[in-house]
Amino acid sequence: MRKYISMCMLLILLTSTTVVLAIPVNDISQAKEHNPKITIVDPVKGIAKAEFIHYEKKNAATNSIVPGSGTCWSTFATWNNDIPVSYVINPTNNRGLSSSFVTSTISTSAETWDAATNKELFGTYSTNTRVKYGRLDGNNVIAFGKASPGTIAVTTTWFITASRQIIEFDMKFNTYYKWGDAVSNMMDLQNIATHELGHGVGLDDIYSGSCSDVTMYGYGSLGETDKRTLEQADINGLLSLYPN
């Protein structure tokens, strides 16, 4: 994993404790394509947020970085024992997807992670058409919303810098794209949701070209469904955070 001294020094000053993060934090003002955007949101309580952007892959060469924690997996934070985690789905969208399809698909993606460990990570979910992405409000929100072309989805995870304890996550699927169920010219909702929920439980993006088959690979594409299921590397990363 790469460490950046300047950011570590900043976090030490803000929290008065030694901070070790497993995510690249060299630039807190603007996200690089291979780095989450890190922002300190409460320096007194030592709360930061990491914004993970899932980019569309368009026949570009893959830049390779070394995964931070193991072969083809990397972690950045954990819920520790604060599981299972409930979440709220806002199924409102401009793509004609029914509420039942959205909720059942996201629930299936959450169960994919649960099935990989004997601990229940994701608990009950509810629906609420008023909740919105991007607010630290006590709700783990999954919703649709606008984002720039090329950005498939974004997950924001709030965490305590000193302990790397996750306290909340929000997820947004970009309405720029058409969404569906294994359709070649659409983004597959289950595929992308499974990847994004990996961030929700503390896994980092992976960009090594040799790891392009894992669920936490940081690129996605139209019609892709490979991320619906987990590879052994994804499971290894998950079990490093939530051992059986």
Q: What is the pLDDT of residues 228-241, one digit of tens each?
A: 999 999 999 999 99
Q: What number is the average pLDDT over the span 61-82? A: 72
Mean pLDDT is lowest, of 22-36, 176-190, 198-212, for 22-36
Q: What number is the average pLDDT over the span 141-147? A: 97
| CA–CA gap between residue 35 and residue 152 (Å, rounded) | 16
pLDDT of 86 strictly over 90: yes
Q: Name the residue range of residue 136's domain.
A: 5-241
Q: CATH number of the domain that 128 lies in? A: 3.40.390.10
pTM (two decimals): 0.84
Please choose, from the candidates 153, 144, 243, the residue with its C-alpha nearest in 3D space to the C-alpha of residue 196: 153
Domain count of the fold of the chain: 1
Instruction: Give the pLDDT score at 119.
Output: 92
Confidence of residue 7 (pLDDT cuts 50, 70, 90): very low
Mean pLDDT of the chain: 85
Confidence of residue 69 (pLDDT cuts 50, 70, 90): low
The label of the residue with tokens 């008065």 reads 16
Please choose, from the candidates 133, 139, 147, the residue with its C-alpha nearest in 3D space to the C-alpha of residue 92: 133
pLDDT of 14 strictly over 50: no
Q: Tell me: cis bond preceding 84? Omega within 30 of 0 counts.
A: yes
